[in-house]
Amino acid sequence: MIAARHHWFHEVSSTNDVALQMARAGEPEGTVVSALTQTKGRGRLGRTWWDRPGESAILSVLLRPSTQADQVGHLAFVAGLALANCLESLPCSHVALKWPNDVLVRGRKIAGILVEAATSWAVVGIGINVNQREFPPEIAGTATSLFLETGQQHDVGKLVEQVADALLVEYEVYLAEGFKEILTGWRKYMWGLDMQATVQTGEETVRGTITGADDRGALVLVNDQGAKHVIHAADSVKLV
């Protein structure tokens, strides 16, 4: 079993940056970097990841899969499944996984995942809204926190440890049994199934009913004419 090796910081630019420096310095798989706050927390597609010091679980886990390009995408599913299981066990109900990288509760975003990788390492960055009672106006309509969903304060440090352990367990399942096994678990939480959505990719907007994630983890939609769209990367997915 891969053991988590925790490194705790008060403030960093981004835990992903610290973890990738550690990766380059040869730190082993299972290295976990956490901080109370980030000055340059980042999300997917160059977006900013907002936190309030001490109220978010912020962690980056260093992995060293034998690299194949598609494994980077697979790791977002591994992390999503680990997060969903972990949140449900708290307990926090109504957890769903929004393709490809978001964790929702009752349709609002509670956590995000950012995977960054090079040939010999992958860093899985996870941000979870834990004890926030309110959010900045830009995200107030779409974000939620564990406190808002459960009515209870949660121990951020303990949650970081639980999430890191859950991630390493699912990662080992992935290594031993393959992506299919992860997808089976992930699909049980899939958000938006059988619902109409618009998906914005770099070049086009696709509208249709979400029918699932295929065996490679791509999002599948069927439009009103019955045409199937298989989407491997998107800027946004919104229900209509």
> Do the bridges between strand 236-239 and strand 196-200 make them parallel or antiparallel, or are there none, so unpaired?
antiparallel
The token pair that represents 211 in the structure block: 């029918």
Counting contacts by CB under 6 A, is residue 217 touching ligand BTN? no
User: In the complex with ligand BTN, which residue's Cβ is closer, 47 or 238?
Assistant: 47
Q: Quick one: how far is CA 113 from the chain centroid?
A: 3
The nearest distance, CB 58 to ligand BTN, in angstroms, is 5
**Smaller CB separation from ligand BTN, 159 or 208:** 159
Determine the residue type at 203: E
Q: Which is nearer to ligand BTN, 208 or 237 (CB)?
A: 237
Please check whether residue 79 is in contact with residue 73, taking contact to mean a CB–CB distance below 8 angstroms.
no
Question: Do residues 151 and 143 touch, judged by C-beta distance below 8 A?
Answer: no
Size of the site for ligand BTN (CB under 6 A): 21
What six digits make up the tokens of 141? 């309509």
- Applying the rule CB under 6 A, the residues between 76 and 135 that interact with ligand BTN are 101-102, 112-114, 125-127
Residue 34: count other Cβ atoms within 10 Å of its Cβ: 24
Nearest approach in angstroms of CB 228 to ligand BTN is 27
Cβ 19 to ligand BTN shortest distance, Å: 8
Residue nearest to ligand BTN (CB): 112
107 Cβ partners below 8 Å, 6+ apart?
96, 191
Question: For ligand BTN, which stretch binds (CB under 6 A), given 34-42, 144-152, 157-165, 210-218?
Answer: 34-42
Cα 138 from Cα 119, distance rounded (Å): 36
Nearer to ligand BTN, 111 or 208 (CB): 111
Going residue by residue from 2 to 31, which x/- string records binding to ligand BTN, judged by CB under 6 A? ------------xxx---------------
Taking the complex as a whole, how short is the minimal distance between the CB of residue 72 and ligand BTN, in angstroms?
Answer: 14
* The one among 22, 36, 58, 146 contacting ligand BTN by CB under 6 A: 58
- Contact assessment for residue 192 and residue 186, using Cβ atoms and an 8 Å cutoff: no
Judge whether 81 and 100 are in contact, CB under 8 Å: no
Between 35 and 208, name the residue whose CB sits nearer to ligand BTN.
35
Residue 237 CB, shortest distance to ligand BTN, in Å, is: 13
121 pairs with which residues across the strands? 118
Based on CB atoms, which residue is closest to ligand BTN, 57 or 208? 57
Are 164 and 99 in contact, with CB atoms under 8 Å apart? no
Number of H helices, E strands in the chain: 6, 12
**Binding-site member from 20, 22, 23, 41 for ligand BTN (CB under 6 A):** 41
